[in-house]
Structure 1
């Protein structure tokens, strides 16, 4: 069985209030291969400036992961046809 790891790094700026929800949702996803992705909550869920619009949000990452699986399923089918 495979194991997958990711580290999530979020640091709150001490000048931002935590209790009133006025803090940045920007954070990093650090994957076991060393890739670092700048991430944030979706601006559709948490408004800017508390979301970082140019960062990848979990919903986008989910769509991308499904799309990757989908395209490689077609590649596998194509490979089996050519055998």
Structure 2
């Protein structure tokens, strides 16, 4: 049996008609940082509720995959996927 592989975290962005995988990250905090950055660029005011945040070296970051949605229909979210070897 091959060893378990760590999951990857996809940052996905959707506007009116296009869904784009913006990036693939090994660390959830890196994927969440990218999602937060895209939200701030889009003018979103992102806040965390008590109990949803955990300490990080630099700042408080969500410990769950993050998501934001705008009233204009633009969304960004992080999905976690486990990588499996393809059988030949």
Structure 1 or 2, whichever has the larger Rg, is 1
| Same fold, judged at TM 0.5 (above) | no
With a CA cutoff of 8 Å and minimum separation of 6, indicate the structure with the bigger relative contact order: 2
Question: Greater helix share, 1 or 2?
Answer: 1
State the TM-score, normalizing by the size of structure 2: 0.28
State the TM-score, normalizing by the size of structure 1: 0.30
